[in-house]
């Protein structure tokens, strides 16, 4: 069976993984070439905005990097550490997606850091429409999990407002596009495993989630903030 997961990173098995994802995006590349390590100086958000124009990020990710397609992620308000890691992973062809692999192939390390800094200056997009009952169920799972089923609350890492944590590499998921959210949660959940800790955290957390649970959390995270 073909396992198409967006972040199955077999190459990384050969890398020193002790430093984890944070290490993987450390500013100095270790000798031997960790494909996710980036080297850059202080990120320049203004230059990031220029690059976003040159590479037409908005043609897919939307004006102000807020998407209007439910199947495509917004980049506005995303945590820079997460965004850098994803662009590095597309560029290294460790995260599958032909379109983004081509886009990322044109970016230098400094460009990635500048684009991430620019996206972080923007506010996340507006809430998507969601079914009230589903949303309420999702809010309960997000905030409290389900002790009886050993389900951990999303709030522990993503925060009450869903904005994640730059230092810990936790993505912002506030008002995430719903079809993309469902797809990406399956990519974590259905993966046989990740050799680095952070995507693996998501995989482990979602292990006991049913599709009904996923539908509920997607309804909630896609409509978190007014």
- Cα 54 to Cα 49, 112, 224: the distances in Å are 9, 13, 32
Which residue is it, tokens 């800094």? 117
According to CB under 6 A, which one of 24, 36, 117, 173 is a site residue for ligand HEC? 173
The CB-of-144 to ligand HEC minimum distance in angstroms stands at 11
C-beta closer to ligand HEC: residue 22 or 29: 22
The CB density around residue 208, as the number of other CB atoms within 10 Å, is 13
C-beta closer to ligand HEC: residue 37 or 85: 85
Complete DSSP assignment for 174-226? TT--HHHHHHHHHHHHTSS--SSHHHHHHHHHTTT--HHHHHHHHHHHTT---
Candidate segments 8-16, 34-42, 127-135, 176-184, binder of ligand HEC by CB under 6 A: 176-184
How many residues make up the chain in this entry?
A: 226
The CB-of-112 to ligand HEC minimum distance in angstroms stands at 8
According to CB under 6 A, which one of 25, 219, 221, 224 is a site residue for ligand HEC? 221
Burial of 148: CB neighbours in 10 Å, binned 0-12, 13-18, 19+: exposed
- Of residues 4-63, those binding ligand HEC (CB under 6 A): 6-7, 52, 55-57, 59-61
For ligand HEC, the binding residues (CB under 6 A) are 6-7, 52, 55-57, 59-61, 72-73, 75, 82-83, 85-87, 97, 99-100, 103, 115, 152, 154, 156-158, 169-171, 173, 176, 181, 183-185, 198-199, 201-202, 205, 217, 221
């Amino acid at each position: 069976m073909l396992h198409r997961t967006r972040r199955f990173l077999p190459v990384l098995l050969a890398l020193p993984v002790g430093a984890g994802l944070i290490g993987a995006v450390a500013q100095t590349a270790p000798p031997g070439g960790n494909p996710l390590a980036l080297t850059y100086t202080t990120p320049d958000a203004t230059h990031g905005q220029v690059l976003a124009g040159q590479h037409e990020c908005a043609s897919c990710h939307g004006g102000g990097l807020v998407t209007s397609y439910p199947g495509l992620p917004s980049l506005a308000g995303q945590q820079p550490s997460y965004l850098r890691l994803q662009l590095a992973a597309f560029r290294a062809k460790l995260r599958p997606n032909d379109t983004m692999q081509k886009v990322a192939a044109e970016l230098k390390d400094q460009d990635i850091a500048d684009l991430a800094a620019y996206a972080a200056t923007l506010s996340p997009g507006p809430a998507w429409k969601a079914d009230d009952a589903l949303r309420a169920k999702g809010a309960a799972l997000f905030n409290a999990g389900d002790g009886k089923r050993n389900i951990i609350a999303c709030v522990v890492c993503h925060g009450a407002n869903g904005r994640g944590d730059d230092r810990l590499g936790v993505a912002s998921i506030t008002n995430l596009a719903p079809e993309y959210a469902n797809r990406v949660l399956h990519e974590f959940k259905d993966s046989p495993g990740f050799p680095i800790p952070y995507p693996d955290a998501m995989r482990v957390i979602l292990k006991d989630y049913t599709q009904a649970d996923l539908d509920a959390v997607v309804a909630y995270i896609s409509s978190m903030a007014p």
